[in-house]
A and B are shown apart, each in its own frame.
Chain A
Amino acid sequence: MSLDPAYLEYPKRRRGMDHDYYPYSNFFERKPLQWPDAKKLLVWPVISLEYFPMVPSDDPFRAPGHMQTAYPDYRHYTAREYGTRIGIYRLLGAFEKVGARISVAINSVIAERYPELIRDIVAGGHEIIAHSTDMNGTIASGMDVAEERILIIRSLDALEKATGTRPRGWLSIARSQSFHTARLLVEAGVDYMCDWVNDELPYAFQTEAGPITNLPLNHELSDRQIINVQQQSVDSYTQQMTDAANWLIGEAETSGGRMMPMHLTPYIMGLPYRIAAFERLIADFAERPDIGFSRGDTIIDNWDAQQ
């Protein structure tokens, strides 16, 4: 038994990365950032607002949280809808109580199905990030490029039509991209994407069509990861987010402004038995003078102005 000799050849073994999307960069050797109002830490909440068709698609893969039983999967369909009816309003309420403006990553069919909700989000001063069309709109290699381009444009167009503003940011479902996604986003006029979780500040990402900024939405600091995947309680979640914030504020003392993504799912965090602990976390952060809340586009603009 032996392997193809090519398995022991390493054509991309060289100085730097094994691709041309971005160069290596040491997080601790960059010019320190200054955030507005002398904040040391900007918390960037992103609520994912998702619509799961009751007939799931596995092409190219089935989205996390999607249908699981034989048709009709009332339990998962409706439990996800709980998020878009109730959970989202509990989360928005928590942020409105402290005057925070945040980002909401929205499946564009939500704009078509629930225009009242979109109006409330826009009226709250929140940013809308394009988050595909619906939860069957997953992306991965193997997908036809023309189809992927249409998916991206349809999402952006529908959200622009509903709000009057074209989203500047993009979040892929499960942060899953093909080798074409970043280029297609540039071609569609998107300023930033949130999918690459390799950093804790924005950075420039190169494509054949020009640069795009990646604003890393850390999946480890998401309610899905901590509560659903790792099966931790909401109290553990709030402890972990508090520990993270404290650590990052400590780093900011010497290394410049830090950012903490807070990825939220309405049907996970918006449940009655979890939301009170979450509201306390947000209220605690709001009371601390060194912590601010920010939309993604505001972070990008602040970062960009200091490059």
Chain B
Amino acid sequence: MSNAQKADPGLYDYLPYRNRPAIEWPDGKTCAVWVAPNLEFYELDPAVNPHRKSWAKPHPDVVGYAHRDHANRVSHWRMAEMMTKHGFPGSVSLSVALCDHIPEVVEDARQRGWEFFSHGIYNTRYSYGMDEAQERAIIEDSIATVERATGQRIRGWLAPALTHTPRTLDLIAEYGLDYTCDLYHDDQPTDVKVKSGNLTAIPYSLEVNDHYGFFIYNMSPREYADTLIRQYDRLADDGEQSGTVMCIPLHSYLIGQPHRIGAFESVLEHIAADGRAWITRAGDIVDRFREQIA
């Protein structure tokens, strides 16, 4: 890859927000809303990647590890039950080794009708520094592991801990995956330029990710809930012109804490009651988008 290619990898075509072709969601809905719970497994004493540390502290990073383990023991169940109560399916960003470690959580998500995409093997193993064969190995591992555990063939990818290589998008497209959650340039789905196959960038979000809300922007639980409601209201308004997408990316060890989950319920109530939301899964959004641009 030349330096010019590195500087501008040409991920997609520029498309101004004004005067875009209309994207239509089913039943005249204006905003496709999908919830992306990150169901993760972090290792207590992971192998060291030379390009990024797994934990801030020497292993064991007790607070870092235990905080995230709260997800599988306690807060997943709290969050999942609330999503189901209000009619929101999940599109799961999955550390696929969770299928091996704690199949109870994966099976719970499957039974709720949730969709799975890969978030790597563990959230403590990073793609930085991998050669092509190694990167293929984690994609193949992801496909096989999720298929074995859930019967689903994964359709999407969110890089483990958001660690990419310049090859990742081409490779996942080559393996037939349909969407990436790693590009943040738009409020609508976008075609990604890949060497082979088709790849759609679906709007995920870091800005309204609970991790950003609580630990980058330091919001209170009620401020975060209000943020999500404002995000939704604007996207539903904009979607009158051309359908928009809102993702609510969650980590149950954050949103499922007892001081946060109640405030979050008001968000689901608001969106469910509004009437303009197509509350669905990532793959459905990608399919509907592709039908219209084909």
Contacts and interface: CB of A to CB of B under 8 A. Distances in A.
Interface of A: 1-4, 6-10, 12-19, 24-28, 60-61, 140-142, 172, 174-179, 195-200, 216, 218-221, 229-232, 236, 239-241, 243-248, 260
A80 B8 CA distance: 51
B125 A196 contact: no
A220 B257 contact: yes
B49 interface: yes
Contact of B70 (A14, A199, A243): A199
Contact of B67 (A8, A198, A229, A260): A198
A94 B260 CA distance: 26
Contact of A197 (B63, B97, B100): B63
Given A140-B58, A197-B63, A239-B222, A16 B97 contact: no
Contacts of A200: 70, 74, 258
B259 A241 contact: yes
Given A8-B138, A142-B58, A26 B97 contact: no
Interface of B: 41, 43-45, 47, 49-50, 57-60, 62-63, 65-67, 69-70, 72-74, 77, 97, 100-104, 121-122, 125, 129-131, 133-134, 137-138, 214-215, 218-222, 257-263
14 contacts: A16-B102, A24-B102, A26-B73, A140-B58, A141-B60, A175-B62, A175-B63, A177-B60, A198-B66, A198-B70, A220-B257, A236-B222, A245-B258, A260-B258
A8 B160 CA distance: 13
Main secondary structure of the interface of A (DSSP, over half): loop
A219 B63 CA distance: 8
Contacts, number: 149
Contact of B125 (A7, A15, A25, A60): A7
Given A2-B131, A140-B58, A198-B69, A220 B259 contact: yes
B47 A25 contact: no
Nearest to A5: B134
Contact of A196 (B62, B103, B220): B62
B262 A141 contact: no
B67 A17 contact: no
A26 B77 contact: yes
Contact of A247 (B41, B133, B261): B261
A14 B100 CA distance: 5
A1 B45 CA distance: 24
Given A18-B44, A141-B60, A3 B130 contact: yes
Which 9 residue pairs spanning A and B have beta carbons closest together?
A2-B131, A244-B259, A198-B69, A198-B66, A244-B258, A141-B58, A240-B259, A230-B218, A27-B74
Contacts of B101: 13-18, 24
Given A13-B121, A19-B44, A240-B220, 13 more contacts: A7-B47, A13-B97, A13-B100, A17-B101, A26-B77, A27-B73, A140-B57, A142-B58, A197-B67, A198-B66, A220-B67, A221-B258, A240-B221
A140 B97 CA distance: 27
A241 B65 CA distance: 24
Contacts of B66: 195-198, 216
Contacts of A244: 257-259
A197 B70 contact: yes
A74 B92 CA distance: 51
A91 B122 CA distance: 43
Contacts of B121: 10, 13
Given A2-B134, A13-B101, A219-B63, A199 B43 contact: no
A221 B70 CA distance: 14
Among B49, B133, B220, residue most surrounded by chain A Cβ atoms (within 10 Å): B220
Nearest to A235: B220
A248 B72 contact: no
Contacts of A25: 73
Among B67, B122, B258, residue most surrounded by chain A Cβ atoms (within 10 Å): B258
Given A15-B101, A198-B67, A247-B258, A236 B220 contact: yes
Contacts of B77: 26-28
Contacts of A19: 44-45
B73 A199 contact: yes
A28 B77 CA distance: 8
Given A7-B49, A198-B73, A174 B63 contact: yes
A245 B257 CA distance: 11
Contacts of A7: 47, 49, 125, 134
A229 B100 CA distance: 35
Nearest to A195: B62
Contacts of B258: 200, 221, 243-245, 247-248, 260
A266 B246 CA distance: 42
Contacts of B102: 16, 24
B80 to A, nearest CB: 10
Given A176-B63, A197-B70, A1 B218 contact: no
Contacts of B221: 240, 243
A25 to B, nearest CB: 6
B281 to A, nearest CB: 25
B272 to A, nearest CB: 20
A7 B125 CA distance: 8
A15 B62 contact: no
B144 to A, nearest CB: 13
Contact of A61 (B41, B57, B100, B218): B57
Contacts of A245: 258
Nearest to A250: B262
Contact of A176 (B57, B72, B125, B129): B57
